[in-house]
Structure 1
């Protein structure tokens, strides 16, 4: 909305003769954006090639980091653009991961294909839950998402078909060699980043991205300009559920074991909130920065237990109070070089 108003004001600020009006064009890409795109392609190629040069431990660490990025970006779409603050995204992580285990271990479907088929589960869960939650607002919506996640955890804990609280092991993976497992997981991880992160970038550059930006700035004003706020929020909720479920399925495929406490762990929501708030709410760049900060902080300081978690919480609170743009917002104050430009800038055409 703000960008549209700036362009409109620039065009009507002062009446000029049509012959004297300079030719203009809309610039959407930047040099920094093209460099970031090349780096992104290189990262995807590196992930795909990991089975031929990386150790199993490194592959598992990279998969974990990518899952954090995917889940956090889905939460970023919800809270940073659609205005839907959820603290129960672990519901979609758990239901997708358990569905993948059921399809692969109990029904005999190829586990790599099961990762894609299991996305039906979070979508099916998301549709009725949004019908229940969409009338709630603010903290009530957030609490409602947490309640749904807890209901799913309790239901899974007593469901004997999935071995109840004892959990399941993905023993079917033993029929594949270590190299085959590494290749499959690496390909799925690259696909996950393309769908969740790359898809978010394309979405934000589209006309729906303009609508989401308008909703983020002022949903009432967006609705008055013809944006169907309710429908767009519903579609983002469904898409975020599928993206979060995809990350959960890949994560637990790499772990080879699942239990209700781990699948529906509230830390999934906590990690997402930390990554987005520290990195920068409403920005793709912030998700990457926040994910890297969390990943390395967890590796280096996770052994300190409760003290480490308190520090993470205080850091999140500090960012929310004094640096709402996160680390990326602070960087933008120093240099205007977006990695994933979504703005439309009116430039004079000198050709």
Structure 2
């Protein structure tokens, strides 16, 4: 996509390119993959569908963490608070209140949005590791409250028995459609945001928040909006993930593994890039499938790999790819192509 700019004074007209061939190809492939995802109940088995749903949730959660840390400078290790509270809200609406479970998924997003407001008000004055520790403390508090809340069966957890009224095929259709919408909201929404007029402000805030503020960017408001958006997106992924699992407990919903997975994916793939999230998600997904049986050794290897990337390739795998070929899948830059005509 190009845009012409008329320059007064007889100077050549400039053309600004905001789309690339690689971006168009990636968009076509992405639409095809979303269509294949929605059609999975008609061509894939239940095990494959469950694995793909899990991968989609990893992508969504990692992208929301990437939005917070990569652009807002908000390093959180407590995003599981939002995935857990949304999932529990969905279970309560569907199992205890009789709401259609597929309708309960969008309705439950009000819970992480509400939780994000006081959380940010409490923690926004903290920086760096203090903010990160604060988010973990909030997640632990929410976990403890849930463990002692009898309405959601306390520490014993809940089963989504209401889903038995639907056949396995019907459940698969509903979950895959929700997954496709989740990817459109989290990945597509982030791409739209970065290409909008707010994208420049986010990029400036990522590079230097002090300088961005001096140029008129309302850093505090943008960080607050990013925090709430990240909470809602993470909550959506949590609700869909546990809907597919049909069971939830406080330890599984609020476990630190959610933050660990998001951090690993973003650091390995490349912080501050949508492409990096996709690459990192696939790396983690297949590594977990192939080497997860090795337990503690496998986790140590993942930790060491993350440390090495942070030390020697801070841009992750995507930065290494960029050094070989400049072909962004989600182009957000505006490039002056040439002048031409009067």
TM-score, reference length from structure 1: 0.94
TM-fit CA distance, 1:22: 2.7
TM-fit CA distance, 1:81: 0.3
- Which of the residues 71, 78, 103 maps onto 1:81? 71
Query: Aligned partners of 1:137, 1:300: CA distance in 2, in Å?
Result: 37
Q: What residue number does 1:293 align with? A: 283
TM-fit CA distance, 1:23: 1.9
CA shift digits 1:59-88 (9 cap, x unpaired): 000000000000000000000000000000
TM-fit CA distance, 1:311: 0.4
- Answering whether residue 47 of structure 2 is matched by residue 57 of structure 1, we say yes
- Answering whether residue 249 of structure 2 is matched by residue 277 of structure 1, we say no
Matches within 5 A, 1:146-185: 146-185=136-175
TM-fit CA distance, 1:179: 1.0
CA shift digits 1:25-78 (9 cap, x unpaired): 111000000000000000100000001111000000000000000000000000
TM-fit CA distance, 1:178: 1.0
Query: Aligned partners of 2:202, 2:196: CA distance in 1, in Å?
Result: 10
TM-fit CA distance, 1:347: 1.2
Q: What residue number does 2:246 align with? A: 256
- Answering whether residue 12 of structure 2 is matched by residue 22 of structure 1, we say yes
**SS in structure 2 at match of 1:348:** strand
Matches within 5 A, 1:259-338: 259-338=249-328
Query: Aligned partners of 2:46, 2:146: CA distance in 1, in Å?
Result: 30
| Cα gap change, 1:205 to 1:17, in 2 (>3 Å) | closer
Q: What residue number does 1:7 align with? A: none
Matches within 5 A, 1:69-218: 69-218=59-208
CA shift digits 1:212-240 (9 cap, x unpaired): 10000000000000000000000000000
Identify which range, 340-349 or 109-118, moves more after superposition: 340-349
Query: Aligned partners of 2:126, 2:224: CA distance in 1, in Å?
Result: 13
TM-fit CA distance, 1:349: 3.8
Runs (4 or more) in structure 1 with deviation over 4 Å come to none
TM-fit CA distance, 1:17: 10
Query: Aligned partners of 1:22, 1:149: CA distance in 2, in Å?
Result: 57
TM-fit CA distance, 1:207: 1.0
- Aligned length in residues: 335
Query: Aligned partners of 1:73, 1:56: CA distance in 2, in Å?
Result: 26
Query: Aligned partners of 2:111, 2:135: CA distance in 1, in Å?
Result: 16
- Which of the residues 219, 226, 230 maps onto 1:236? 226
Provide the aligned C-alpha RMSD in A. Answer: 1.1
Query: Aligned partners of 1:279, 1:57: CA distance in 2, in Å?
Result: 26
Query: Aligned partners of 2:212, 2:184: CA distance in 1, in Å?
Result: 29
TM-score, reference length from structure 2: 0.97
Q: What residue number does 1:67 align with? A: 57
Query: Aligned partners of 1:189, 1:17: CA distance in 2, in Å?
Result: 49
Unaligned runs of 5+ in 1: 1-15
TM-fit CA distance, 1:192: 0.2
CA shift digits 1:252-297 (9 cap, x unpaired): 0000000000000101000000000000000000000000000000
CA shift digits 1:132-167 (9 cap, x unpaired): 000000100000000000001111111111111000
Query: Aligned partners of 1:136, 1:289: CA distance in 2, in Å?
Result: 31
